Amino acid sequence: MTDRKMKSGTMMPFARPDVMRWMHAVSGGWVILGLAAAVLFLAAPQTASRGVRAGLALCAHAVIPSVFPFLVLSPIAAAVIRRMLVHICSGDVRAAGLWSAFIPGMLSGFPVGAVTLQTLCRGGILTRAEAARFLGVCSGASPAFLTAYFGLQLYGNVRVGWAVWGMQCVLCLAGFLWLLRRCSDRHAGAADIEVPVPSLQTCLHSAASSMLGICASVVFFTVLRAFICTRFSGGMAALLCGICEMTGGLGECMALADAGMLSRPAALILSCGMIGFGGGCIGMQVSDAAAQAKLPMRYYWYTRILLAAGLMAAAAVFSMGGGM
């Protein structure tokens, strides 16, 4: 039986014609976005140049130092965690593998969880359908980002960052356990497969390749954010920036709150929606990792929309409880 079939003999969900049409539409959307950006770059080269410089500076000062070490170490850490959890999970290699994607994904941030899932899929521990369903819940903003940048730099309170990270973990954990239960129901027998711990040299090569794609997406969406800021202002600029690139959107929300155009609780709620959704920049990073194992992105976007709604509701309760 081919890998496009489930054990029951039915086609995998992402192999159905309607899903394939959806995937082609998404791919076409990225192409259209790229063409539109190319036109903007030619029409306003000075704005594009400023955006490229800002994006490269962001990569050099923030993205590479915070992400590259985790990309190098996460495959080794995931393999070690998986070996330790196999005994806890009664020999269930599949469940241990999923936990080894979830834990680093919550601690290290985007796109470490997606990188681990595609490794598990290519190693035969997960099917593509299973790995695709877990993409959204195994990826999140890291506690370092939420405490240092979001909490301390934007809100002047580390406790806000920890609270948002905690709410994110609770929501992702709830979705993870629900999906894990369904995965266990479909596959009662544990997969007797073990992926060896990768060498450091292999991890370095893989991390360098992934880092190049991450930096390219950061620069691209930073340029788009520069165009947005020159054409829009106020809440619309913040919303569009958050949809394109999460970090810029969070900064725009805080700027509106400082200018008195948005209350701090409202800014927190909107910011939590951006954190839950992740934005196009992070989505492209996750998509790049998922493409290595040919994982569809449909489930990722559905999950992130639900997480955005859940985080906004949790932030509203947090604000009413005097968390601000």
**3-22: average pLDDT:** 43
**288-292: average pLDDT:** 84
Whether the pLDDT of residue 17 is over 80: the answer is: no
* Mean pLDDT over each residue of the chain, to the nearest integer: 79
Q: Which residue, 12, 69, 30, is CA-closest to 283?
A: 30
Residue written as token pair 């063409």 = 35
Residue 175 Cα to chain centre, angstroms: 15
The pLDDT confidence band at residue 168, using thresholds 50, 70 and 90, is very high
Higher pLDDT: 96 or 18? It is 96
In DSSP notation, 231-283 reads: H--HHHHHHHHHHH-HHHHHHHHHHHHHTTSS-HHHHHHHHHHHHHH-HHHHH
Q: Which residue, 280, 251, 288, 14, is CA-closest to 154?
A: 251
3-state secondary structure of 230: helix
Higher pLDDT: 39 or 281? It is 281
**234-243: average pLDDT:** 85
- Indicate the range of 4-18, 49-63, 104-118, 149-163 predicted with least confidence: 4-18
Q: What are the backbone angles phi and psi of residue 11, rounded to the nearest 5°?
A: -70, 145
